[in-house]
Amino acid sequence: MGQNNYSSLHGFILLGFSDHPKLEVVLSGVVTIFYLITLMGNIAIILASLLDSHLHTPMYFFLRNLSFLDLCFTTSIVPQMLVNLWGHDKTISYVGCVIQLYVYMWLGSIECLLLAVMSYDRFTAICKPLHYLVIMNPHLCLKMIIMVWAISLANSVVLCTLTLNLHRCGNNLLDHFLCELPAMVKIACVDTTAVEMSVFALGIVIVLTPLLLILISYGYIAQAVLRMKSIAGQRKAINTCGSHLTVVFIFYGTIIYMYLQPGNSASKDQGKFLTLFYTIITPSLNPLIYTLRNKDMKDALKKLIRVDYESTKTKN
């Protein structure tokens, strides 16, 4: 217990990319740029979908939640990461590391489940269009979001608590740029089989089950789109579903590739770059993906820019 208290008193050292000082300088600039893009893009989507009454539908309700989630996800990581990249001090307090561990796992789990909920919304809209607003009523949408956040919180509490209870024998060097669960498990000095089995079991529930539901939903959606007689209807369905599918493939593709890699087949930095991609790059791409092929969202953003420009002009 005393050995574990060492990290409680002294915190952890995040090694990150400290063995590549020049790379740290480049990465700090890249992370800052993408973080600003993430902030501007996701805030714009939230404001545009709230201010435009045409976008007060279940699809945009879930999209607002995704944008809010991306804002929280990146903000829980980027400030500490920039401090780590900019300065010589690579330490993070024990409390700060614990908070980041729980929040990171919580928000990551939410994204997995939320993408599945969004695919069910698209399935209902395209396969049952006449009953869409009845099925996806505001009460059900809110209930689904609450369930997603609650299940993900329970998953985070279980896995992170099990991980933090592992004896570390004074080890406080984390070979990562954030307090991530695999990195914490790696510094344990005891048998971690029970924790790894728990991660695997809950990983099936949180990652693979939602992905399976997404694929099944899009199987039915593809059949419904092929049966459509209207070319315009097909195009609209493909545009709205295409955006969501692109986000799904980027997010799940990165996670599956990273966690299905054999232990010694990848370089020690590859996992860090992949984590960097799905925690920093992906949230900045989501607003772009959802607006490029979505006429309603583009119109709402133009209206938002116009209102902002006119209000600025009035003040001057």
Select the CATH number that applies to the domain covering 12-295 from these four: 1.10.10.10, 1.20.810.10, 3.40.50.300, 1.20.1070.10. Answer: 1.20.1070.10
Residue 64 corresponds to which amino acid?
A: R
**Predicted local distance difference test score (pLDDT) of residue 2:** 47
- The pLDDT score that the predictor gives to residue 206 is 87
pLDDT in tens, the chain (316 residues): 444 544 555 688 888 888 888 888 898 999 999 999 999 999 989 998 888 888 889 999 999 999 999 999 999 999 888 888 887 778 888 899 999 999 999 999 999 999 999 999 999 999 998 999 999 999 999 999 999 999 999 999 999 999 998 888 878 888 888 888 888 888 888 888 888 888 888 878 888 899 999 999 999 999 988 888 888 878 878 877 888 888 888 888 888 776 655 444 445 677 788 888 888 888 888 888 877 667 777 777 777 777 665 566 666 5
pTM of the predicted structure, to 2 decimals: 0.87
Q: What is the reported pLDDT for 5?
A: 46
Residue 255 neighbours by CB under 8 Å, 6+ apart: 207, 278
Six-digit token string for 31: 């992370």
Query: Residue 172: CB partners within 8 Å, gap ≥ 6?
Result: 6, 7, 10, 11, 12, 13, 187
- Scanning the structure block, which residue is given the tokens 């004074």? 170
Question: What pLDDT is attached to residue 69?
Answer: 95
What ranges do the domains of the chain cover? 12-295
